[in-house]
Amino acid sequence: MAMADPSWKAFLERIEHAESREELLRIEHELFGRKSGVMTLKMKELQAISPEERPKYAKELNTWKQKLSQALEEAAARLTIPADTVLASHDTLDVTLDLPERERGHLHPIQEFLRHVEEVFGRMGFDVATGPEVETEELNFTMLNIPESHPARDAQDTFWIKSAKKGKDRLVLRTHTSPVQIRYMRTHKPPFRAIFPGKVYRKDADATHSPMFHQFEGFMVGKDITLANMKAVMIAAITQLIPGEVEFRFRTGYFPFVEPGLELDVRWQGEDKTKEGDWLEIVGCGMVHPTVLRNGGLDPEEWQGFAFGFGADRMAMIRHQIPDIRSLFPGDVRFLRQF
């Protein structure tokens, strides 16, 4: 072995003649100290010895280790130190040991953003609900007043699921979170306000489109909910979701499930979140179409309200100044660590 064999016998004698608890602890540390204990180092050296020779050395060393540990215990008892406070016997818990720091993860920026959305709307009294990502054609399109001939149903945009289910039960990967509106209406009693965050799917892929992306839908239905309420809720929410000074622009827009329908654009002054002065469309909204209310089981003569659908990825990209949506999803930790 590399290091000359220490005199184990001398150690043994010192232990047997130790006169105080301090002395014993010192010897113990010399032998079994974690970094420079003589026995500790010897045990480490064993690993460098060829496997053929190792057993020979190991056996002797182990015998001494046991002898010395036992002598320490006996001496400790003799000096009335409770045996379990003896520091170094190898199976004793070393409370002074520094463990390597555990790496901590964190939520993906999109999930973190959606939690924030839930908080913001939660403070305004909105419930949170989710629906399935594999949805029926009926709920994804028909119940939302999207006609049979509408281009959104086109094979270009929608992922159809191959299955035996035919007709209205045909399955799709939901193209938006809007079908959760119907599910929610059918299972809750109005008045209600709720948001529906989740993944949606479309055949689309470039720097600003991913075939899987995230939306959060929402609606508020009551006896007298109007566009004025919608405007107030949209502005209050966006102000909290996008930091800095934001300008708003409501435009008319067409979505079959709302009437009237609007699109809401935002822009910033100064900051480089988007090119200064560019309007960016972030949400579609409007008053829930009477047919949609009826499909959800509500009487449109009695109930009315607004609905909205946000693209969550885009908003998270603005928040973190991420230029390409495709960097969000491969799970590359070099990218994710930045947030």
- By beta-carbon proximity to ligand DAH, the closer residue of 58 and 235 is 235
Q: How far is the CB of 281 from ligand DAH (least distance, A)?
A: 10
Evaluate whether 210 touches 199 at the Cβ level (below 8 Å). Answer: no
Q: Using CB under 6 A, which of the segments 126-134, 166-174, 304-312, 318-326 binds ligand DAH?
A: 304-312
Helix (H) or strand (E) holding 29: helix 21-32
Considering only residues 308 through 327, tell me which ones interact with ligand DAH, judged by CB under 6 A: 308-309
Q: Using CB under 6 A, which of the segments 18-26, 57-65, 279-287, 312-320 binds ligand DAH?
A: 279-287
3-state secondary structure 183-199: HHHHHCCCCEEEEEEEE
3-class state of residue 65 by DSSP = helix
Q: Using CB under 6 A, which of the segments 221-229, 242-250, 282-290, 313-321 binds ligand DAH?
A: 282-290
Q: Does 185 bind ligand DAH (CB under 6 A)?
A: no
Q: How far is the CB of 146 from ligand DAH (least distance, A)?
A: 9
Q: How far apart are CA 218 and CA 96, in angstroms?
A: 54
Q: Using CB under 6 A, which of the segments 99-107, 270-278, 280-288, 328-336 binds ligand DAH?
A: 280-288
DSSP 206: B
Evaluate whether 45 touches 3 at the Cβ level (below 8 Å). Answer: yes
Q: Does 42 bind ligand DAH (CB under 6 A)?
A: no
Q: Does 64 bind ligand DAH (CB under 6 A)?
A: no
Task: Say if residue 333 is exposed, middle or buried (CB neighbours under 10 Å; 0-12, 13-18, 19+).
Answer: exposed
Q: How far apart are CA 248 and CA 264, in angstroms?
A: 7
Q: What angle do CA 73, 78, 79 make, to 5 degrees?
A: 95
User: Binding residue for ligand DAH (CB under 6 A) from 197, 286, 296, 305?
Assistant: 286
- By beta-carbon proximity to ligand DAH, the closer residue of 190 and 284 is 284
Q: List residues near ligand DAH by CB under 6 A.
A: 176, 178, 217, 255, 258, 284-286, 307-309
